[in-house]
Copies of this chain bind each other. A is one copy, B any other.
């Protein structure tokens, strides 16, 4: 037929299981073991409390600028929860809750945002990339890692995170296209938190969903309620399982909200209303999950209170350790250590020049 409608490979779906009030869609409810459900809850709560604490520390000038995750706990904890240690996580800069669940220590987070390059160190055995600040640039690294995993015949996957704003970057396009071409085991988790600093999602692209962008690459795309931990786990589980058996990459758009500041240097009042924030506070991912867990008899107020105390203590210890470390004198010359495996003679001359200079000053 000379004028015909072209067939698309599949349709883009939207998934939601646990609604904002904690009511579950029985037909879609996943059968998750109790300990996993409680792990998810703990990780989300820890993420929330640690975030609140970092904000206070920053306001007190004890650490520098960072990007709060408040409201996005489910969007990152859900996908990370379905990974195993041998998988890879390639974060942006707003996945602290997810990074902690992947084994990054609170100390390293605090140290890093406290201005110490040492905080960027990733311990052996944890396959996480350090955070990536240039928006959208890290997705390609996930494709490279995933290609390597495929090349070595492993059934591990690479999972990368990024925001709604990042989908406008050329690197997003190149990463998804490359992933589609080689059908690599990569999962692209877009935390659509509705804002890229002051730019609302609607101004970022004319497309009504970000998930549909996957159609450009014949890559699977799904839009998920990102504040619904059950939906996030289910969607991520499906994507990861497909990837492990060689069925290729998936783009997951997690529809969530940045309840806090863009970074501690930001003033959201300039560009968004309190009403909008209030609206999303009703959709809080943690509150609704607690309703669900209570209904299932897996959690009660006493247990929550105990957990809060336990978490508070953990955070306190981490802060204390970090501040003790920060109180020690810094070795300024250490900044010369990791630009190259072997510093050049001229670089060593510069290091020596600085050493002498510092001695002269002291």
* Residues of B contacting A208 in the complex (Cβ-Cβ under 8 angstroms): 6, 9, 218
Choose, from A32-40, A55-63, A177-185, the stretch at the interface: A177-185
* Residues of B contacting A213 in the complex (Cβ-Cβ under 8 angstroms): 216
With contacts A168-B174, A173-B173 known, is A207 near B212, CB below 8 A? no
* Residues of B contacting A356 in the complex (Cβ-Cβ under 8 angstroms): none
Choose, from A13-21, A285-293, A321-329, the stretch at the interface: A13-21
B180/A206 in contact, CB under 8 A? yes
* Residues of B contacting A13 in the complex (Cβ-Cβ under 8 angstroms): 3-6
A177-212 contacts to B (CB < 8 Å): 177, 180-181, 183, 203-209, 211-212
* Residues of B contacting A169 in the complex (Cβ-Cβ under 8 angstroms): 170, 173-174
- The yes or no answer to A8 lying at the interface (CB within 8 A) is yes
B5/A12 in contact, CB under 8 A? yes
B171/A170 in contact, CB under 8 A? yes
A4/B14 in contact, CB under 8 A? yes
- The yes or no answer to A129 lying at the interface (CB within 8 A) is no
B6/A12 in contact, CB under 8 A? yes
**Which A residues contact B (CB, under 8 angstroms)?**
2-6, 8-9, 11-17, 19, 25, 28, 168-174, 177, 180-181, 183, 203-209, 211-213, 215-219, 223
